[in-house]
C-alpha cells in the first residue's frame, strides 16, 4: 500500500510542471510550439513580420491570463492547424504520430524475417571428397596439434 502511495505521489509531482505550464505558459514555450505561416519555422527562430506580431500577441494573451491551450486554439482558429509545430494527437493528426511508429515496426519485422531466413538458409553442402593422399596428410598434420 505504501509503495502504491509513493508511486502516486511521484507521478503527481512529475505532472505538476505540466499543469503549471498549461496554466502559466512562458512566451518561449509557445514560440517553440507555433510555426510562422510565412517562413514555416518556429516563432522562436523566425524574424518575419508576422512572427513578430504573433510573439506580441502571445505576450498579451499571457498577460491577460490565457492558458496555453487557449492561446494555441486562437492561433489555430486564425491560421489553421498548420500553425502548430507538433500535430495534435487526435483526428487526422494522429496519423502523423502513428505512421512512423508503424513503419519502424514493419521494417524491424521485415529485417528480422530476412535475417532469420538468411541464417537458416546457409547450410553448407559437402564438397567433393578429398584425394586419399591429401586426406592422409591432413590427418597427419592435425595429429601433430593434438
Q: What is the pLDDT of residue 19?
A: 46
Q: Is 62 left (phi over 0), alpha (psi -120 to 50) or beta?
A: alpha
Contact by Cβ (8 Å): 54, 36: yes
Mean pLDDT, 10 residues at a time, the chain of 146 residues: 62 49 84 91 91 94 92 92 83 82 95 90 74 89 87
Amino acid at each position: 500500500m505504501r509503495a502504491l502511495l509513493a508511486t502516486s505521489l511521484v507521478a503527481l509531482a512529475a505532472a505538476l510542471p505540466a499543469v503549471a505550464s498549461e496554466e502559466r505558459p512562458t512566451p518561449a514555450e509557445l514560440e517553440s510550439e507555433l510555426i510562422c505561416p510565412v517562413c514555416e519555422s518556429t516563432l522562436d527562430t523566425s524574424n518575419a513580420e508576422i512572427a513578430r506580431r504573433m510573439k506580441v500577441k502571445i505576450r498579451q494573451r499571457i498577460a491577460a491570463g490565457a492558458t496555453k491551450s487557449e492561446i494555441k486554439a486562437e492561433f489555430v482558429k486564425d491560421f489553421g492547424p498548420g500553425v502548430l509545430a507538433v500535430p495534435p494527437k487526435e483526428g487526422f493528426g494522429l496519423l502523423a504520430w502513428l505512421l512512423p511508429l508503424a513503419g519502424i515496426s514493419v521494417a524491424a519485422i521485415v529485417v528480422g524475417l530476412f535475417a532469420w531466413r538468411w541464417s537458416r538458409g546457409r547450410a553448407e553442402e559437402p564438397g567433393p571428397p578429398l584425394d586419399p593422399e591429401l586426406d592422409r596428410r591432413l590427418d597427419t598434420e592435425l595429429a601433430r596439434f593434438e
